[in-house]
Structure formats: C-alpha cells, structure tokens
Amino acid sequence: MKWKGRRASSNVEDRRGMGGKTVVGGGIGGIVIILLYTLLGGNPGDLINNMSSNNGENTTVPYEESTQEKESKNFVSVVLADTEDVWSDEFKKRGLKYENPTLVLYSGSIQSACGFASSAVGPFYCPGDHKLYIDLSFYQELKEKFQAPGDFAMAYVIAHEVGHHVQTLLHTGEHVSAAQRKSNQYSVRFELQADYLAGVWAHYAEGKGYLEKGDLEEALNAANAVGDDNIQKKAQGYVVPESFTHGTSAQRKRWFYKGFENGTIEGGDTFKAANL
C-alpha cells in the first residue's frame, strides 16, 4: 500500500508501556459486562482476566519503540486517517455526521470501557468509549501465526475494527432484542458486516490509487486466515460450526470482497441476506 508521506490521523492514543492499570470504575471484584467487538473468534475467556490482577500500580515507563514499531505506528495512523476520510464522506452523503474514533495502541494488556483485555484477544473495538485497541505485535502475529503477511493485511484489520465503529454510529443490528444479539447467528452476521465495511474502505483506497500489486490478495488472505473454521481447525483440529461467531474463511472473504466491489454502505445488510 502506498502510505508514506500521506496524512496520519491525530486520533491515536499511545498507551504502550503503561500496562493495563485499573482505572476508576474497574471495580475490583465487580461484574463487568463485556461487549467488545474483536477481529477474531476464539475463547471469550481470553477477553477478561482478573480485574484486580494489577494492584493498581501506576508506574509509567516511557515506551521505547523499535524502528519497526515506529513504522507500524505511522502506518496504522495513515490507515486510520483514510478511514476518517471515507467514512466522513459516506456519512455526509447521507446527511449524517461521522465522529472519528480513537485508536489506542497498547502493549500486553489494557483497561477499556469494555473491561480489561489482554492482547491475546487480538485487536478489538469498544462501543462504550468509541475506541479501537491494538497491540502492534499483532502485525507479527498475523504474519507468523496466521500466515497473512503484508501491510494491507494489517490495514484490513484496522478497517474491520473501524467497521464496528461505523456499525455503532449507524446502530446497525439493533433491530433485534438484546437476547437475540447474544446468539452466534447474530454475531456472525454482525462480524461479516464489519468485513464488508472494511471492503468499502478498500474500495475507496483503490479509487485513490493507494493500492499496490498484491494488496487486495493480502487482505483477502487475512480475511481467510481469521475465519472461524480456519482458527478452530488450527487450534483443536476440528470444526464446530454452531460455535462460529465470525463466519467461515469463505464468508469473511466474500463479504470483504463484496464491500470492495460495491464501495457503499448499501449492499452490506448481512442481517437480511438469505445466504452468507
């Protein structure tokens, strides 16, 4: 992806090196209802650890980033800026106002409005504070663990999480009851819509001439890698379709590509689609 020298978003909050210290409202021993939107499926037990694990230590050591990390930070800031551009345009066309989300960079673990999370959960979006949370080491994980290398693979990840922000602002999927929203069926449709919206962003990037040869394939390969069937096969050797929360590799690729082809919010109603 061509990204060097382009506008970087200022909506990046760097909390690396600060640990997941418990802030007010963390409530040691309290019950926290988690509603955060991740890129990956997997075990929800990873989402939250013991809230009191940190003992409230507030030591803040300035984070020393490597050259590679510095580059990654710049890259995600440019991708975030691109998402700001496309979504403010798309919202304006519909007489709506887009509110930019904040991208929080963290290392290891983080306290969000959606609870305490470790980087094992992967990138996520918290609708409670309109922030995306990413540990940049995920870039490496994508390459090595998921065999999805390339900058556009990482761009897809950011765009997917921003997709969840767009869903939050548009209140998509809120036509069903809270109970229904907890079903896996619902989750899959919701996640595939975020993939579709990531595709809409890619369409925009293509139109601007930012894509390089192989970029689209990198994103599709990443969408394939994070499919529930692929993750389950790798983790346990077999697949349990009823437990899917994000869709199969084929579905994730299909909806991302649909968004890429269409380039508009319309066409991404995964809740009405007869076939996913």
Interaction site with Zn ion (CB under 5 A): 37, 191, 194
Q: What's the min distance (Å) between Cβ of 160 and Zn ion? A: 6
Q: Are 247 and 222 in contact (CB under 8 A)?
A: no
Return the number of the residue (86 or 194) whose C-beta is nearest Zn ion: 194
In whole angstroms, the minimum distance from the beta carbon of 76 to Zn ion comes to: 16
Q: What does the alpha-carbon distance between residue 111 and residue 187 come to, in Å, rounded to a whole number? A: 23
Rank residues 38 and 221 by Cβ distance to Zn ion and give the closer one: 38
Distance CA 148, CA 101 (A): 26
What sign has the CA pseudo-torsion 1, 143, 199, 45?
Answer: negative
Determine the 3-state secondary structure of 191 from DSSP. helix
Q: What is the DSSP string of 106-166?
A: -SSEEEETTEEEEGGG-SEEETTTTEEEE-THHHHHHHHTS---SHHHHHHHHHHHHHHHH
The CB-of-47 to Zn ion minimum distance in angstroms stands at 13
- Reported residue count of the chain is 276
> Least distance (Å) from Zn ion to the CB of residue 92?
25
- Closest approach, Cβ 107 to Zn ion, in A, equals 21
How far apart CA 229 and CA 226 sit, in angstroms, is 8
